[in-house]
Amino acid sequence: MEIRKFDILKKNDAFELLDKRNTKDILDIENTVSNILADIRKDGDKALFKYTKKFDGFNVNEDNIKVTREEIEYAYSETSDDLIRIINSSAENIRQFHQKQKRDTWIDESDGIKLGQLFNPIEKCGVYVPGGKALYPSSVLMNIVPAKVAGVKNIIMATPPNKSGKVDSSILVAADMAGADAIYKMGGAQAIGALAYGTKSVPAVYKITGPGNIYVATAKKHVFGKVGIDMIAGPSEVLVIDDASVDIKFIAADLLSQAEHDELASCIAVVLSKKRAEALEAEVIMQLNRLPKINIAKESLTNYGMIMIVNTIDEAINFANEVAPEHLELCIESPFDYLEKIKNAGAIFLGAYSPEPLGDYFAGPNHVLPTNGTARFSSPLNVDDFIKKSSIIAYDKKSLKRAYKDIVSFAEKEGLTAHANSVKIRFEDL
3-state secondary structure of 90: helix
E strand or H helix that includes residue 317: helix 313-323
The Cβ of residue 199 has, within 10 Å, a number of other Cβ atoms equal to: 24
| Cα distance between residue 116 and residue 79, in whole Å | 48
Q: Please name the residues in contact with 251: beta carbons below 8 A apart, sequence gap of 6 or more.
A: 240, 242, 269, 280, 283, 331
| Cα distance between residue 110 and residue 418, in whole Å | 28
User: In residues, how long is the chain?
Assistant: 430
Query: Which positions are catalytic?
Result: 326-327
3-state secondary structure of 114: strand
* Residue 413: C-alpha distances to residues 165, 417, 418, 420, 426 (Å): 64, 9, 12, 10, 20
Angle between helices 27-43 and 214-223 (to 10 degrees): 60
**Quick one: how far is CA 177 from the chain centroid?**
20
Of 342, 347, 272, 351, residue with least CA distance to 307? 272
| Cα distance between residue 39 and residue 42, in whole Å | 5
